[in-house]
Structure formats: C-alpha cells, structure tokens
Amino acid sequence: MILEKYKKQIKWLLSGDPSIRYQTLRDLCDEEETIVEKERSKILKNGWGRQFMDLQESNGTWANALYSPKWTSTFYTLMLLKRFGANNDKRIEKACRIILDKGFYKDGGINFWKTWKNGETCVTGMFLSMLSYFQIDDDRINRMAEFLILDQMPDKGWNCQKPKGAKHSSFHTTISVLEGLWEYEKQFPKSDLQNDIREKQLEGIEFLLQHRLCQSSTTGKTVDPKMTKLSFPPRWHFDIIRCLDYFQEKNIAKDKRMNDAMSLLIKKQTSEGFWKLENKFPAKIFFEMEKVGKESSWNTLRALRILKWWK
C-alpha cells in the first residue's frame, strides 16, 4: 500500500546509498530476502559504508580514539555502521572488542572515564545495541544487559546522571537503553534475562508514553525543542523520529499518547512528499552525508516506515 502511495519517494530512496537501498527494500518494498541481503552485502563495499571502512586504522580504531572525540571516534563510527544495517565482518568485530576490552567496568557497564566510579548508562545502552546487533559472542554482553536492568530508575526510565543525584529519568538515556535491550532481545532469544528484558522495555515505553514522547509531565510543554527536530545521525540524543522508529520496529500497540508526535511528523512532510534534515549535533565528522535544510533520505526512509506501521 505504501509503495503505491509513495512511488516517487521510494524511487528516490532506491537511487541512493546501499544502506538506504537495503532498508528501503526491506522495510518499504517487502522484497524477497535474497534480494535484500544482496543489497545489504554492498554496504561496506560501496558508498558511505565503504568510506568509513577506508578510514579505519590498522589497529582497528577510528581517529585513534575510543569514545571521544565526537563524532569521529571508534564508538560513534560503529554506532553509525550499525544504523546503516551493515553486516559484521572481522574489521568491525575487532573494533567492537577493542571498546569492550578497554571500556568494560567491574559493575557490568561501560566506563571510559577515570573520574567515574560506575558504568555510564547511556553509553552502555548504545554499546549493548551495537554488540548485540553485530552478534559479538562474549559473556560480558549479558553482564551489560544485567547492569541496565538493575540501573532502572523508580519512574521506569533511565538516566546516566543517576549516580550524581538525578531523580527523574532522561529521554536521551531511556531511548538508548531501550534500543540496546531490543537488540539484545532479538539476538539472544535463549538468554535467561529475556523475561526481564521484555518487562523493562514495556516499562520504559510506558515512561515515554506518559510524557507523550517529549513533553513535561508537569507543564505539558515540550522539554526541549530539539526533540521535535528530525536529526540524523541521532548520536546519543532523543528525538521523536528516533523514538517512533523504535516503536515501529517493535511493532508495539498504537496509543493515543503517540498522536502528538505522529501529527508533528506528518506535518513535517514537504509539499513534494519528502522529509528534511532539520538538525545536526555539532562536533567533528569525517564527511557530510546530508545537508541541514535539504531533503533527507534517512528521514524520508524512517518517516515512511513509521507511517507504514501507523496506518
């Protein structure tokens, strides 16, 4: 149905980078698996994925860095390759293991900072997402999942500032943890943690729904205007399209508390039927994929698969 209504947009997406073509064929065209996987195999060989892999250093890192500087470090490059939909290979696994070996902390979280005496929740959630997605075989992944389960706040979300006294969950940390738990749920179906993983996701989703995705529970106003702007890559930041994309991938039940965010997403469609890149998070990058203010293949792709789920 969506293919018929958005033929022009899908044709445009299919003319783009292999990562865009792969996800378009998979999510919008419902193409045969063999065709989809053939396109997926091109992600690290051509286009943006190839450009990133060509920048990897012989020791397995990017920018000779683990987490900082943003956004050229090994951590954020791997996060982007995961968002591309890339297959794992020896180069990616090497980079994942470097971060795991250097960042794994005694409490089961990830910690790159000497001044912190605990795992960092947001980083742990993002890295659990990567390790699970790339199917890295290491028992420390289970310990990371356990860390996140135990680190949940009383309001059922998560906040990386909890060790510093935070009393309310963070949208940013919560979506990063939920994405990590979701990837873990998919990749490790036989884990003893599965019941807890599913339960914590339902509770985290309810936290976001209680806030209508991005609104204050006390004032009803948008917590931060940037949460309503469509960004890519999201890095560690929350915005409505990132949240809705997580919802559609899990295929959760529709809820009227999503209506405000969905209405805003629909309103952002241009007269030509595309969605623009509205925001970028400033820091050093290797190269520019899309320009702010211009039609965005990433945001158009994500918006269309959200609409496909919503309709």
In the chain the beta strands, taken as DSSP E runs, fall at: none
Both ends of the chain: CA-CA distance in Å? 10
Q: What is the pLDDT of residue 213?
A: 98
Q: Which three-class secondary structure state does DSSP give residue 166?
A: coil
Structure tokens at 275: 């969605």
Q: What is the pLDDT of residue 305?
A: 97
| Domain parsing of the chain, residue ranges | 1-41+222-311
- Report the DSSP beta bridge partners of residue 276: 295
Run of H or E including 2: helix 2-5
Dmax over CA atoms of the chain, in Å, equals 55
Q: How far is CA 143 from the centre of its chain?
A: 21
Q: Which three-class secondary structure state does DSSP give residue 279?
A: strand
DSSP 8-state secondary structure symbol assigned to residue 88: P
Is the pTM of the predicted complex or chain greater than 0.75? Answer: yes
Over residues 113-137, the pLDDT tens digits come to 999 999 999 999 999 999 999 999 9
Structure tokens at 134: 């790339």
In the predicted model, residues of the chain with pLDDT beneath 50 are none
Q: How far apart are CA 188 and CA 199, in angstroms?
A: 15
Segment 162-167 long-range contacts (CB within 8 Å, at least 24 positions apart): 162/121, 163/116, 163/117, 163/118
- Report the DSSP beta bridge partners of residue 104: 110
Q: What is the pLDDT of residue 1?
A: 58
Cα–Cα distances (Å) from 40 to 18, 20, 53, 249, in that order, read: 7, 9, 15, 18
Over residues 173-206, the pLDDT tens digits come to 999 999 999 999 999 999 999 999 999 999 999 9
DSSP 8-state secondary structure symbol assigned to residue 221: S
Q: At what angle do helices 259-267 and 297-310 cross, to 10 degrees?
A: 130
Closest-CA residue to 16 (of 297, 294, 299): 297
DSSP 8-state secondary structure symbol assigned to residue 204: H
